[in-house]
Amino acid sequence: MSRFLSKNYESLVPYTPGEQVNVKVIKLNTNESPFPPSPKVKAVLSEEVIDKLNLYSDPELKELRNAIAEQFGVTSDMVFCGNGSDDVLAFAIMGFCGRGGKLCCPEISYGFYPVYADIFGVELEQIPLKDDFSIDVNDYIGKNKNIVIANPNAPTGLALSFEDVEKIVSSNPDNIVIMDEAYMAFCGESCMELVKKYGNLLVTRTFSKSHSLAGLRVGFGIGSKEIIDDLNKLKYSFNPYNLNTLSIKAAAAAIADNEYYDDKIAKIVETREKTTVQLKELGFNCTDSKSNFIFASSDKIPASVLAAKLREKGILIRYFNEPKIDNYLRITVGSAEDMQTLVDSIKEIIAEV
Amino acid sequence: MSRFLSKNYESLVPYTPGEQVNVKVIKLNTNESPFPPSPKVKAVLSEEVIDKLNLYSDPELKELRNAIAEQFGVTSDMVFCGNGSDDVLAFAIMGFCGRGGKLCCPEISYGFYPVYADIFGVELEQIPLKDDFSIDVNDYIGKNKNIVIANPNAPTGLALSFEDVEKIVSSNPDNIVIMDEAYMAFCGESCMELVKKYGNLLVTRTFSKSHSLAGLRVGFGIGSKEIIDDLNKLKYSFNPYNLNTLSIKAAAAAIADNEYYDDKIAKIVETREKTTVQLKELGFNCTDSKSNFIFASSDKIPASVLAAKLREKGILIRYFNEPKIDNYLRITVGSAEDMQTLVDSIKEIIAEV
């Protein structure tokens, strides 16, 4: 730390991203899609577009916001786009909580929520999950604090029902409820249609998982026009041109290509279900994941040991050295082939224990 | 505004970007380069790279930081990259001032500095320029506040000498001095080598102007390792993957292509000088601009009227309806052909007055 950093940020502990590697491995540690993006992405990143990069990107992101709005049946003034959904979450927590404001989230969830609370000076209550890792919806009803929930939750993979989300949103009319649907495409029950009914709901999504575009950094939030206006006010005071021209064009092409992505998502869900069955046959306890990862634990081998041994075999998965989940592994659903290699490797490792 | 936005941001007035247009015009209003980016940019944005966008970008930005470090003769741990230099400036003012901290800048300068001060709760002193729009270096010596200065300054185009910058940096050892060198490539005297001598100096640059990549959104800051570590701490607490894979690769290719850009920058400087002579022949007062724009005023026609009449002819330039500069125009240096069209159009307009 330099002697110049403000005391506001002295004790800040940043988020730790999953490891990125260059060597040839089976990479099941950061919930990326095993499939390349839609061919339509390549088609729009033409030489003509690249030659015009001397011009600023559109700060209003009209092309992309229109494409997203059309997909979700809302108007484009209900769509805010960010440089990844992290960007959307950051502006939302910064803006709607404010310094000294109150926010609550599940105790076991996306590791970035406590970091945002810290950097923006927000008082965070982390609410314990039930013993089966599910969220007790009663904990959030009439909470009278701002709320952020990942649905499906990470790293548990468990999802709230549409009815439970509506109970939370409707019972907290004076607070913002952020439903982080980063993993929703993999067959949870989205609450997206509630944005037309409730002015206090912001639903966030990302292109990183379902749309095979983690490397492009595009996310978005959908909510009432007033909420989106607020987020734009912050954006125009921080980084007006927050998405570059290539991201705008590529993401707009991707979101419109339902045929391609529906097929890829179906394959991921199919592989998830098949791998889950195989892991259960090996004695693993797996949650009922509605995401593109599996959350699994075995009595036969400690999670930390299994993660290390898989790593020796060139397979990366995510291990969290944290209370309550330190015997669980979060395994991204990769290609059918890679997942079979994973299962075979786990079999070998268990046989050696 | 929604009723959810924190009182922290109720009175925030966002930055107003220059107008982006789709219709066919001569666009001399946002200081973009008239040239396309280096052909090497196209070459690195290959189908193979696009197909791997399913994987996250490198949060450490190693490829790009190494390329920038090599260009400036520093180590890569002295380089911080942002989603545009706005991103770098935002993190720096947020982190080094802190809420309630003190910052000063020239009264007439980049319009975003007061916006950053506002959003981050920083007390800003705006120091008047001299009557000829130059910065009085004595105003900043031993100031005992954090300092941000655009050098060359915008929209005046005037530059501080290397010696004057060193006086400012050396006399404020307990505060951060940010030298915003967005326009430095167009023949000012860079203070970049001082980053090795002074631990309180952060120099920011952008790919938007000199490198024909405004639409790619990449900027960077160079300073001591300690300062850069602080900026990274904030970045990892806000948006760890702040640049996408395409930006990283394209910017790394661009910064290494000195041959291409030296030629384009020389052409822009040549056109700037030629156009300035022509405008002076038409009776304009022009500052001694060291940037890629001309700051000009005429007694024959009010700046607002001239801007409006040029607009009718399909030529966009920037007019600021602000005290002290409301009879000046900021004209981006475009292609030699477009600048000749501009001069001819101004001649016609003046003849009609």
Domain with residue A24: its CATH number is 3.90.1150.10
For chain B, 353 residues long, give each residue's pLDDT as a single digit of tens: 888 888 888 788 888 877 766 667 999 999 999 999 999 999 999 999 999 999 999 999 999 999 999 999 999 999 999 999 999 999 999 999 999 999 999 999 999 999 999 999 999 999 999 999 999 999 999 999 999 999 999 999 999 999 999 999 999 999 999 999 999 999 889 999 999 999 999 999 999 999 999 999 999 999 999 999 999 999 999 999 999 999 999 999 999 999 999 999 999 999 999 999 999 999 999 999 999 999 999 999 999 999 999 999 999 999 999 999 999 999 999 999 999 999 999 999 999 98
Do B125 and B140 fall within a single domain? Answer: yes
Token look-up 């056109």 returns B271
Between chains, do A57 and B215 touch, taking CB under 8 Å as contact?
yes
Structure confidence by residue, pLDDT tens digits, A274-328: 999 999 999 999 999 999 999 999 999 999 999 999 999 999 999 999 999 999 9
Among residues 213-232 of chain B, which lie with CB inside 8 Å of chain A? 213-217, 224, 226-227, 229-230, 232
Q: State the pTM of this model.
A: 0.95
Query: For residue B1, is it within any domain?
Result: no
Listed in sequence order, the residues at least 6 apart from A165 whose beta carbon sits closer than 8 Å to its beta carbon are A151, A179, A189, A191, A194
In angstroms, the separation between the Cα of residue B24 and the nearest Cα of chain A is 13
Between chains, do B216 and A245 touch, taking CB under 8 Å as contact?
yes
Do B73 and B211 fall within a single domain? Answer: yes
**Would you say the ipTM is above 0.85?**
yes
Domain that holds residue A337: 7-35+259-352
User: Measured between CB atoms, does A84 come within 8 Å of chain B?
Assistant: yes
The C-alpha atoms of residue B16 and residue A3 are separated, in whole angstroms, by 34
Query: For residue B336, is it within any domain?
Result: yes
Between chains, do A54 and B97 touch, taking CB under 8 Å as contact?
no
Among residues 107-136 of chain B, which lie with CB inside 8 Å of chain A? 115-116, 118-119
Provide the number of structural domains found in chain B.
2
Facing B54 at nearest CB: one of A12, A35, A227: A35
Query: For residue A59, is it within any domain?
Result: yes
Facing A227 at nearest CB: one of B2, B101, B233: B2
Q: Which of A234, A257, A280 is the last residue of a domain?
A: A257
Chains A & B: contacts with CB separation below 8 Å: 280
Q: Which of B211, B226, B257 is the last residue of a domain?
A: B257
Q: Which of A235, A257, A279 is the last residue of a domain?
A: A257
Whether the per-residue pLDDT at A10 is higher than 90: the answer is no
Do B31 and B44 fall within a single domain? Answer: no
The C-alpha atoms of residue B134 and residue B161 are separated, in whole angstroms, by 11
Closest-CA residue of chain A to B102: A6
Asked whether the CA dihedral B274, B276, B280, B283 is positive or negative, the reply is positive
Among residues 195-214 of chain A, which lie with CB inside 8 Å of chain B? 199-200, 208, 212-214
Structure confidence by residue, pLDDT tens digits, A133-177: 999 999 999 999 999 999 999 999 999 999 999 999 999 999 999
Between chains, do A237 and B15 touch, taking CB under 8 Å as contact?
yes
H helix intervals, chain B: 39-44, 47-51, 62-72, 85-97, 112-119, 162-170, 225-235, 245-256, 258-281, 303-312, 336-352
Between chains, do A2 and B227 touch, taking CB under 8 Å as contact?
yes
Query: For residue B280, is it within any domain?
Result: yes
